[in-house]
């Protein structure tokens, strides 16, 4: 076997592979022997099918497979051994001659490859990029405190009903003969009534009170709601139009958690916070921590805009990339790819620039970095539910489970590497720091 690279220009090359019969014959014969052992051909016992018949039945397909496998392995071994930095995947050359597996014994294959351009750039304090520090306002802290209290509240029994309360009691269909549907432990939530008149009937009730209402009217004839309330099938619920009496047996209301030591301990750990003032400081620090990755992400967006200008003269194998994308993405046609190509080239410049930054500065994502990033993602998910102080061992367990999923792991690896590159850029380029509100920060993406 002979493998040779022919340079077309600085970003295009052709790899030619010559495959002789001796390079693949042994594998073909071994594969045919395996087929012979397993072949089930009428008139022959397994393992006794004539070799000539096996070759006639499977020879061409086996030859094609083994040649293809040998060529693919040789191509990728050559790329790896010669440390070629390529874009996309190799494509069969458009000048590739047709292969005749019936008559050929020696083969030659040609593959077009796109070479990543060599980048030459420097970064220093002359490179200026904005960095947005998101303001954490008192209103944001108050809203977060309110949400935490709400998420850590409890249900209490009350004497008089309000719209958002839960009413439990006996529900009986009003029928002249006293028969009808009865639900002993019915649950009503006035807030979900669609009819205001029926909803008003449920306000101001006390335990022991009885009220007559119409479920069909209350739920605007929504079969699923009526069926759930009356514990019946939806097919039956669609015909329910009668009134029902409801005897109140219990009224419960959700009460937000109090800003006390129990709540402080629950959210931030035992005795970490002892006063409401300290609690608000912790909440503010938590919000700052949550928004910091947003600032870093925006840094990378603005850095891309500013820094890829250094690569304005870099040449790319555009024609090859169009062919490659057309062959790999069947959902897009040539016109769409032509339109999108300029943006794709700019994205590719940034991708290659980051790769060079990583390589030239020996930046790596360690297992510890990967785990810490996964824990940050997990911590942010818990924070959304008001759980601010999750034990580290629990975070580690959740993070480890996330990293078992390949797609999730790749996403977290990208986040970790982006964080490392952002940290590098902060120390090399000039940051024009700007204080900005959340509202104005979000408008940057409009």
Query: Residue by residue, what is the 3-state secondary structure of 341-371?
Result: HHHHHHHHHHHHHHHHHHHHCCCCCCHHHHH
Q: Where, residue-wise, is CATH 3.10.50 in the chain?
A: 154-255
Check residue 39 and give its pLDDT: 81
Please state the pTM of the whole predicted model: 0.68
Closest Cα to residue 93, out of 2, 17, 19?
A: 17
Every domain of the chain with CATH number 1.10.3120 lies at 128-146+275-443
Estimate to the nearest angstrom the gap between the alpha carbon of 72 and the chain centroid. Answer: 32
According to CATH, the topology of domain 154-255 is Chitinase A; domain 3 (3.10.50)
Give the per-residue pLDDT at 83: 92
Alpha carbons 175 and 238: distance in angstroms, whole number: 18
Alpha-carbon separation of residue 130 from 271, 294, 436, 437, 438 (angstroms): 40, 13, 11, 15, 16
Determine the pLDDT at residue 40. 80
Cα 231 to Cα 171: distance, rounded to the nearest angstrom = 11
Per-residue H/E/C for 144-169: HHHHHHHHCCEEEECCECCCCCEEEE
What proportions of the chain, in percent to the nearest 5, are helix, strand and coil?
50, 20, 30
* Distance, CA of 133 to CA of 436 (rounded, Å): 6
**Which CATH code for domain 2-115?**
3.30.70.1050
Taking alpha carbons only, the member of 288, 292, 280 closest to residue 141 is 280
pLDDT attached to residue 378? 86
Greatest alpha-carbon span in the chain: 97
* Cross-strand bridge partners of residue 160: 206
CATH 3.30.70.1050 domain residues, the chain:
2-115
Residue 410 sits at the vertex; the CA angle it makes with 408 and 416, to the nearest 5 degrees, is 105
pLDDT in the model for residue 433? 95
The pLDDT averaged over each successive group of 10 residues in the chain (446 residues) is 92 94 91 85 81 87 92 94 94 88 90 94 95 95 88 89 96 87 94 96 96 96 94 92 96 90 84 91 89 92 94 93 90 91 93 92 90 86 68 83 90 89 94 95 92
Query: How many Å apart are CA 264 and CA 273, to the nearest integer?
Result: 6
pLDDT at 385: 66
Q: What CATH code is assigned to 128-146+275-443?
A: 1.10.3120
- Residue 446 is predicted with a pLDDT of 80
């Amino acid at each position: 076997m002979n493998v040779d690279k022919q340079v077309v220009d600085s970003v295009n090359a052709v790899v030619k592979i010559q495959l002789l019969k001796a390079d693949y014959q042994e594998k073909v014969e071994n594969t045919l022997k395996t087929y012979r052992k397993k072949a089930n051909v009428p008139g022959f016992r397994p393992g006794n099918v004539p070799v000539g018949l096996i070759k006639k039945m499977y020879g061409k397909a086996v030859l094609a497979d083994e040649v293809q496998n040998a060529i693919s392995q040789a191509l990728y071994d050559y790329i790896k051994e010669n440390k070629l930095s390529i874009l996309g995947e190799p494509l069969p050359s458009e000048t590739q001659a047709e292969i005749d597996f019936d008559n050929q014994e020696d083969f030659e294959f040609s593959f077009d490859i796109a070479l990543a351009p060599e980048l030459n750039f420097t970064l220093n304090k002359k490179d200026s990029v904005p960095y947005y520090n998101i303001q954490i306002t008192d209103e944001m802290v108050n809203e977060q405190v309110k949400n935490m209290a709400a998420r850590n509240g409890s249900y209490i029994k009350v004497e008089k009903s309000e719209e958002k309360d839960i009413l439990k009691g006996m529900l009986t269909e009003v029928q002249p003969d006293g028969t009808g549907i009865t639900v002993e432990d019915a649950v009503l939530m006035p807030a979900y009534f669609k009819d205001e008149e029926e909803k008003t009937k449920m306000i101001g009730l006390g335990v022991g009170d009885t009220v007559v209402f119409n479920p069909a009217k209350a739920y605007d004839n929504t079969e699923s709601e009526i069926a759930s309330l009356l514990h019946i099938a939806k097919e039956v619920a669609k015909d329910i139009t009668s009134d029902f009496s409801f005897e109140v047996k219990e009224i419960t209301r959700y009460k937000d958690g109090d800003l006390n030591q129990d709540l402080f301990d629950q959210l931030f750990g035992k005795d970490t916070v002892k006063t409401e003032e300290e609690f608000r400081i912790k909440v503010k620090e938590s919000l700052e921590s949550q928004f910091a990755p947003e600032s870093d992400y925006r840094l990378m967006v603005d850095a891309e805009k500013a820094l890829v200008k250094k690569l304005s003269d870099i040449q790319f194998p555009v024609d090859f990339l169009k062919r490659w994308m057309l062959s790999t993405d069947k959902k897009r046609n040539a016109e769409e790819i032509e339109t999108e190509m300029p943006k794709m080239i700019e994205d590719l410049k940034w991708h290659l620039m980051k790769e060079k930054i990583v390589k030239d500065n020996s930046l790596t994502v360690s297992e510890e970095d990967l785990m810490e990033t996964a824990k940050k993602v997990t911590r942010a998910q818990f924070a959304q539910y008001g759980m601010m102080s999750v034990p580290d061992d629990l975070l580690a367990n959740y993070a480890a489970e996330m990293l078992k999923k390949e797609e999730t792991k790749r996403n977290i690896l990208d986040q970790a590497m982006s964080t490392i590159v952002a940290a590098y850029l902060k120390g090399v380029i000039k940051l024009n720091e700007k204080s900005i509100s959340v509202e104005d920060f979000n408008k940057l993406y409009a």
